[in-house]
Amino acid sequence: MMDVTPQRLKEELDKGTAFLLVDLQETEKYQHAHIPGAVNIPMASFAEQYPAVLKDKAMSIVAYGEYDDLHKGSDAAKVLEDAGYTRVGHIVGGLHGWQEAGYRVEGGWES
């Protein structure tokens, strides 16, 4: 599992690197603010929902929650690794870390 800083993620997004961003917030929070391009799979139902969305176990996947201190991103990455996904990581600091670094979000609270 990779720890991905907000700065590294931004660099990869700017380069057009192919990967899937997974936002683990509850749907209401996702609708208010998420990293552009992220898909929403709430952590509360992650184990049931991810197989339908994340079909390619070789794809690069970066997961994040609202804050890193809740460990949602790393917990989801661990679930994926245990299921045989080979290129997974989580954003250090979560969405809050992304916003603290000054990067744009989409949703009702766009910055």
Is pTM beyond 0.85 here? yes
Tokens of 60: 């690069």
Confidence category of residue 1, pLDDT binned at 50, 70, 90: confident
Q: What is the mean pLDDT of residues 5-18?
A: 94
Q: How many CA atoms lie within 13 A of 39 on its CB side?
A: 12
Closest-CA residue to 63 (of 41, 42, 90, 95): 90
Give residue 8's pLDDT: 95
Give residue 16's pLDDT: 93
CA 65-71-75 angle, to 5 degrees, is 95
